[in-house]
Structure 1
Amino acid sequence: MTVLHLADEGEAADLAAFLSRLLHYDRGAAVRLQAAGTALAVFGRPPSFEVLAIRAVRLAKPYENGLDVTLDVTVSAGELLESVEESAATAVVPDAVTGPPWAGVLPPRGGWRPVPGLPAPDALRAMIGSGVAEFRSRTQELAEERRTRAELDRIGRDIWSRTVGDTHLPVRAVHAAQSLGFLRATGELALLSSGAWLRLRTPYGSIAVRRAGLGALDVSVR
């Protein structure tokens, strides 16, 4: 049994909240865990947004029982959530599962450069509010016979595939950040790029997305 000792109760609560939000969008969600020393990265992919969500977790000490240097495993998000003990600030790593395809293609570890043009947090939140309102308005205007899943998905893609300001970041990445609890009222945001990837970084987690049209040359398979 591999035990993770989290830095404190707050860190455990934030991890549990992140896992709960992922499970809201996918009851069978898997997460990939990568840890070295006292840093743990938790990767997940909420299917509604087509992005990669990354939650950094601070550990109080390296994990126990046989893993001396690194941890890299894909597990059930639900089983990991069930093992989180907030009062003790611990979690038990579940048995590995066969990872979904996205778990084998992660953003690069380094080479990130700042990208200008990201609007202020208030403007981003207003953008999401406008997108949600537009989606509701357009779907409510549909005749009953046209209100199909395919048409709803088409409207959603039209709205959430738009880009943020003068950047190439799709609005769905910001929507995902807000839905997963990353876009809070405090803390600075940054937009970074590395190869084919863009990353919206917040103090509470990151959203990464691959830019279209760049092929597979900059994929990091680990």
Structure 2
Amino acid sequence: MSVLRLADQETVADLATLVTRARSVDPEGAIRLQALGHTLAAYVGVLPGAGVLAEGAVVGLRAMPLADPADVDVTVPLGAVADRLARPTPDGSLPLPPMTVAAAWAAIAPPRSGWERVGAVAADEVCAIAREGIRRVAEGTPAIAGGHAVGSLRARVWGEATPTTPPFPAGGAFAAYVLGFAPPGTDVEVFAHGRWTRLSAAGGHVLIR
């Protein structure tokens, strides 16, 4: 299948917002579009993780309705999807980019079931943790710092456990904040499954490996 048909223009705008927010973190990033039946699961990488198994990866997930059933699983450039969404069609059609890309985080599928709820944290607290982490990264990154130093600082800041109950890697708070998943006044539920952690909020899910 070379075209997905989104349910309506609101869904088109929703996907465009997700893509725009993900590109603000990684302009050259990728999006995994996994369609099954009338549901599209859109995954975006926020923190890439390290190694073949992408340890420490943080991924955003938003589920969206489709007008027509589909069976698709591709990982494509965010920029290519953004270009197509910039030219919306009346019927919500999204032509899939012909070029696929490899992303370590996209190759590691999170569990579909068996998650255990371990608690909830106020979205306001989650976003405050994210803003503090962003400040620490910005203030700790000299203008002359090399890519390795910057990457090490980010990994250290976002790999720390939050002071919340329950705790989770701070990178999850960063993802929920930058993707707009945790609106003020709501709660973020925390789930665990082996080495995985999931934050489920009003706007979507954050998966942390």
For the criterion TM > 0.5, the same-fold answer is: yes
Matches of 2:190 and 2:160, distance apart in 1: 16
The 8 Å contact of residues 77 and 101 in structure 2, kept in 1 or not, is answered as no
Which of 129, 154, 179 pairs up with 1:127? 129
1:88-99 equivalent positions in 2, closer than 5 A: 88-99=91-102
Q: Which moved more, 1:77-86 or 1:106-115?
A: 77-86
Alignment match, 1:61: 68
Matches of 1:130 and 1:151, distance apart in 2: 19
Aligned-pair identity in percent equals: 29
Tell me: CA distance 1:133–1:78, structure 2 relative to 1, closer, same or farther (3 Å): closer
Q: Which amino acid aligns with 1:51?
A: V
In structure 2, the residue corresponding to 1:32 is in which secondary structure?
Answer: strand
TM-score (norm 2): 0.80
Tell me: CA distance 1:86–1:126, structure 2 relative to 1, closer, same or farther (3 Å): farther
The 8 Å contact of residues 2 and 92 in structure 1, kept in 2 or not, is answered as yes
In structure 1, the residue corresponding to 2:13 is in which secondary structure?
Answer: helix
Q: CA deviation at 1:46?
A: 2.6
Matches of 2:2 and 2:44, distance apart in 1: 20
Alignment match, 1:34: 34
TM-score (norm 1): 0.76
Alignment match, 2:206: 207
The answer for unaligned runs of 5 or more in structure 2 is 50-56
In structure 1, the residue corresponding to 2:121 is in which secondary structure?
Answer: coil
Matches of 2:151 and 2:39, distance apart in 1: 37
Q: CA deviation at 1:151?
A: 4.4
In structure 2, the residue corresponding to 1:62 is in which secondary structure?
Answer: strand
Count of residue pairs the alignment pairs up: 199
Q: CA deviation at 1:187?
A: 4.5
Please list the CA deviations of residues 4-50 of structure 1 after superposition, one character each: whole Å capped at 9, or x if unmatched: 22222221111011112222333332222211111110112134784
Q: CA deviation at 1:160?
A: 2.3
The answer for unaligned runs of 5 or more in structure 1 is 64-69, 211-222
The 8 Å contact of residues 135 and 156 in structure 1, kept in 2 or not, is answered as yes
Q: Which amino acid aligns with 1:31?
A: I
Tell me: CA distance 1:102–1:138, structure 2 relative to 1, closer, same or farther (3 Å): closer
Matching of residue 109 in structure 1 with residue 112 in structure 2: yes
Tell me: CA distance 1:163–1:5, structure 2 relative to 1, closer, same or farther (3 Å): same
Please list the CA deviations of residues 71-125 of structure 1 after superposition, one character each: whole Å capped at 9, or x if unmatched: 2222222222222216543311222514222222110111112012x32112222
1:1-222 equivalent positions in 2, closer than 5 A: 2-47=2-47, 50-63=57-70, 70-84=71-85, 85=88, 88-116=91-119, 118-138=120-140, 149-164=147-162, 165-185=164-184, 187-210=186-209
Q: Looking at CA atoms only, which structure, 1 or 2, has the larger radius of gyration?
A: 1
Tell me: CA distance 1:158–1:101, structure 2 relative to 1, closer, same or farther (3 Å): closer
